Every structure is written in structure tokens, then in C-alpha cells.
A = this chain, B = another copy of it.
Amino acid sequence: MSKDHNYLTTLKERGYRITPQREMIIKTIARNPTHFTADEIHTKIQTRVHSLNIATVYRTLELLVEEGMVCRSDFGEGHIIYAPEDHGPHIHLVCRQCNQVIDADSTLAHSLKEKMQEKYQFALDLHHLAVFGLCSACQKGEEHHES
């Protein structure tokens, strides 16, 4: 059974209505293997159908996040990206200089997660965590700086 079909069936089981808008959005997401923005989804659909409002895209993505089908990462600077849940949990290393995003192994943060739970009773969410810094290329180009 295809992924979009699964999503739609699950939503219906949970009491949500299946609208043409939701169908289009979910089918577009299911075809997409990687990260995407709300606007990318909207634009892709608009090339064929014109009657889809961007607010509906945002609301549907919000729903899919709540229902655990999509995950959302906020990269700051007003840049939010989404990914299918099966894209897998990992850390996004966002370069402050060139805006490149590196997908890093989220198990590397397990010890941090444990420490936060111990010291602050805070349950750190490692699912598509975004952290900032400098990629290797940009580190090299930063020698003209006070140490």
C-alpha cells in the first residue's frame, strides 16, 4: 500500500475529513523523498490546480506534524522546513555563513539528552534538531577575525 494512501486512511480513521486539498498535499509530500518548504509544496500543486491557498498548506502540514506523519525543523531566520517522518531522525547542522544544511547522526546527541534529563528533568527532542555553527569550508575562510 502506498504511503499517501496510508496517510489518508490514517487521518480518516482518526476522524479527520479527506478534502481534495489534503489529498493533493499528501500525494505531493509522499512523492517527495526529502526536505521541503510549505511554499515548494504549494507551488508544485499550483502548476496544475490553481485553487489552493497557502494557508491551507500550512494548516495541513501542521496537522501532519501533530499526527506524527511529518516533522518540522525551524532553522531560524524565518526558515521552516518539513520532511516525511521516515526521513529519519537526525540533527541538522546549519552553517551560519553559507546556510548549507548537513544531516548529522542524531545518536551523537544521546549523551546530551541524558544529561539534560538528569540535571534539568528536560526531555530533549532529538528529532530533526537544528543547531548552528560553521561548516568546514567556512571555518577556513574565517581566519581574519580576532581570536
Chain A residues within CB distance 8 Å of chain B: 74, 76-78, 80, 93, 95-96, 102, 104-105, 108-109, 111-112, 115-116, 119-125, 129, 131-136, 139
Give the Cβ gap from A14 to chain B, nearest Cβ, in Å: 11
Q: How far is the CB of A136 from chain B (nearest CB, A)?
A: 3
Copies per complex of this chain: 2
List 14 other contacts, CB 8 Å, given A74-B74, A93-B116, A108-B119.
Answer: A74-B77, A76-B76, A95-B122, A102-B120, A104-B120, A108-B116, A121-B139, A122-B134, A123-B134, A124-B131, A124-B133, A125-B131, A125-B133, A125-B134
Closest to A129 in B: B131
A122-B108 CB under 8 A given contacts A77-B74, A78-B78, A116-B133: no
User: What residues of chain B lie closer than 8 Å to A134, measured between beta carbons?
Assistant: 122-123, 125
